[in-house]
């Protein structure tokens, strides 16, 4: 695992699930961690449990000004920004296109796609002035596979995947490492919502097939080191047994 001592890592969607596990995993490797989400009590509780090298900042990633202010708070608290994990995401609306609520469909794009742009746009000046940084997007198999009832999710994740590739194209030569993590199915609230929907084959999966959120959290830490450089501009799949072995998780 890369030594994250004194590095500052901002994680969006850190109030539960993969984001909360990532905050704990980065802190365990010595990083300062900044936890962003809308649920201020939840991020405050996790940051409090991690200790003085953790900061909780209430933030809705759909509002650019909140994201910019949150990254500013990270720099004020810890002196810089080294890594941004764009993890905040929603699955809703789970619905066929003709029945989907247009407001909810737009909201999914605002969170899953525009939220990633907001983070990168605010982080890039802070990283470039210090010679570089890492921008990781939490992606999905849905970025490359059409899935029934998930048009907003699939379209937003496909957009975020392409956006991450564009970041690598534009900034790769300037010290910015941009790449994505496709975690597979993970036992979080998002999978609970999917199961409850009863729509498509993923909702029918047995709960036991989902991996714990600590696995993608560990992968995100690993991706901050040079071993992940061959995937810059692309997604790393945690379904890949070689990746699991490299990260040190799973069978």
How far CA 10 is from CA of 16, 27, 56, 82, 214, in Å, comes to 15, 11, 10, 8, 17
- Judge whether 64 counts as a catalytic residue: no
Catalytic residue among 78, 150, 153, 222: 153
Cβ neighbours of residue 197 under 8 Å, at least 6 residues apart? 94, 149, 203
Nearer to ligand NAP, 98 or 162 (CB): 162
When the beta carbons of 19 and 149 are compared against ligand NAP, the nearer one is 19
- Contact flag: residue 237 with ligand NAP (CB under 6 A): no
Answer for the pair 213, 186: CB distance below 8 angstroms, yes or no. Answer: yes
Q: Name the percent of the chain in helix, strand, coil, to the closest 5.
A: 55, 15, 30
Binding mask 75-94 for ligand NAP (x = CB under 6 A): ------------xxxx----
**Which segment (23-31, 33-41, 128-136, 144-152) binds ligand NAP by CB under 6 A?**
33-41
Q: What are the backbone angles phi and psi of residue 15, rounded to the nearest 5°?
A: -80, -15
* Cα gap 112→98, rounded to integer Å: 21
Q: How many residues bind ligand NAP (CB under 6 A)?
A: 30
Find the binder of ligand NAP among 1, 16, 44, 232 (CB under 6 A). 16
- What part of residues 35-74 is at the interface with ligand NAP (CB under 6 A)? 37-39, 42, 59-62
Which residues within the stretch 157-186 sit at the binding site for ligand NAP (CB under 6 A)? 183, 185-186
Three-class SS of residue 34? strand
Which residues are identified as catalytic? 153
Task: Provide the binding-site residues for ligand NAP, judged by CB under 6 A.
Answer: 12-19, 37-39, 42, 59-62, 87-90, 111, 138, 140, 183, 185-186, 188-191
């Amino acid at each position: 695992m890369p030594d994250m001592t004194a590095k500052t890592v901002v994680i969006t969607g850190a109030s539960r699930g993969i984001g909360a596990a990532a905050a704990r995993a980065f802190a365990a490797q010595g990083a300062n961690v900044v936890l962003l989400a809308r649920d201020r009590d939840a991020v405050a509780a996790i940051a409090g449990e991690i200790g003085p090298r953790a900061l909780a900042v209430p933030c809705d990633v759909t509002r650019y000004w909140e994201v910019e202010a949150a990254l500013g708070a990270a720099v004020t608290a810890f002196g810089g920004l080294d890594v941004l994990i764009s993890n905040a995401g929603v699955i809703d609306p789970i619905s066929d296109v003709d029945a989907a609520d247009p407001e909810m469909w737009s909201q999914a794009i605002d969170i899953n796609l525009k939220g990633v742009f907001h983070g990168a746009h605010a982080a890039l000046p802070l990283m470039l002035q210090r010679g570089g940084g890492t921008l990781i997007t939490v992606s999905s198999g849905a970025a490359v596979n059409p899935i029934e009832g998930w048009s907003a999710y699939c379209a937003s994740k496909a957009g975020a995947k392409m956006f991450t590739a564009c970041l690598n194209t534009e900034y790769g030569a300037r010290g910015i490492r941009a790449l994505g993590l496709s975690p597979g199915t993970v036992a979080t609230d998002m999978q609970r919502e999917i199961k409850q929907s009863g729509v498509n084959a993923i909702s029918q999966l047995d709960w036991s097939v989902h991996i714990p959120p600590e696995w993608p959290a560990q992968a995100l830490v690993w991706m901050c080191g040079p071993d992940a450089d061959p995937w810059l501009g692309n997604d790393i799949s945690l379904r890949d047994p070689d990746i699991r072995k490299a990260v040190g998780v799973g069978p």
